[in-house]
Structures are given as C-alpha cells and as structure tokens.
C-alpha cells in the first residue's frame, strides 16, 4: 500500500498533495517532521494521515 501521509489542499476543484513539505510565499514553510507543531489550516494546507482522510474532510469521492 502506498504511503499517502502528508499535506493536502483543495482549491479550484483540485486536491493538491505534498508528502514532505510545502514552501509558500512569504517564507512560510511546513515540514512533515513538524506536523504536530502547526495550527491548521496554513494557507489552505492541512495535514492528514492518508489520502482517504483528506477526501473525507474535503467531502470528495475516494478514487482508487
């Protein structure tokens, strides 16, 4: 089974996924090793343990 832990953002009908880190304008960066230290959302990004949890949160169909 593929590891789908990471950061997710749903915007413009697109589910974006970043498994390790996200770099954003304004020197805002989030890293998987610090996932428990952040208050979400961060510029629309959330942490989820897996793809299915992200789909449930954003009310999206789970596509295998």
How is residue 28 written in tokens? 């805002």
pLDDT for 1 equals 58
Task: Flag residues of the chain having pLDDT under 50.
Answer: none
pLDDT for 2 equals 85
Side-chain-side CA neighbours of 35 within 13 Å: the count stands at: 15
Q: Please tell me the distance from the alpha carbon of residue 49 to that of residue 3, in angstroms, as a whole number.
A: 9
Q: Please tell me the distance from the alpha carbon of residue 29 to that of residue 3, in angstroms, as a whole number.
A: 22
pLDDT for 25 equals 93
Q: 15, 6, 24, 18: which is closest to 58 by C-alpha?
A: 15
pLDDT for 64 equals 79
């Amino acid at each position: 089974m593929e590891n789908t832990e990471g950061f997710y953002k749903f915007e413009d009908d697109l589910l974006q996924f970043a498994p390790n880190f996200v770099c954003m304008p304004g020197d805002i960066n989030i890293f998987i090793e610090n996932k428990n230290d952040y208050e979400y959302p961060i510029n629309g990004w959330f942490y989820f343990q897996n793809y299915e949890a992200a789909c449930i949160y954003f009310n999206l169909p789970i596509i295998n």
